[in-house]
Amino acid sequence: MRPTKAFILSFVAGILILINSLAVGVAVSWFPWIFPTLPGSDNNAAVPFASITIVGLVCGVLVLLGALLLYYKPLNSKETGIVIIGFSIPSVLAGGGFIIGFILGIIGGVKAFRWKPDTKTTK
């Protein structure tokens, strides 16, 4: 028995976070004029946005790895749920997977944390 719903929610969240982070990175590189000027930056410097993109990419990859770990090692679901929640939260800095990725990551992580293996034996 596997925590299938938690896996699917977390996997989709990781993909959305990655896509959103890549979109931010592409927009900053190719279309810098669409972002407002940051206070204290030199005419909309790309450095803060590059850092935001990197944070988003790292969070997306770790949420995806958490989802895969949840699927292949379901007995570690509590620890994996904490990892998924823990890396879904900072993904908000990069857009949170269009916000729906953030929400799905939190829900998937909570479901993974609360999942219990079925101990019933069938005869």
Predicted pLDDT of residue 28: 80
Domain ranges for the chain: 4-30+45-114
Q: Residue 119, Cβ neighbours under 10 Å: how many?
A: 6
> Residues 28-67, buried b or exposed e (16+ Cβ, 10 A)?
beeeeeeeeeeeeeeeeeeeebeebbebbbbbbebbbbbb
**Count of residues making up the chain:** 123
pLDDT score, position 20 = 96
Contact criterion met (CB below 8 Å) for 21 and 60: yes
Would you say the pTM of this structure is higher than 0.75? yes
Q: Tell me the average pLDDT across 101-114.
A: 98
Res 49: pLDDT: 79
8 by Cβ neighbours in 10 Å (0-12 / 13-18 / 19+) ranks as: middle
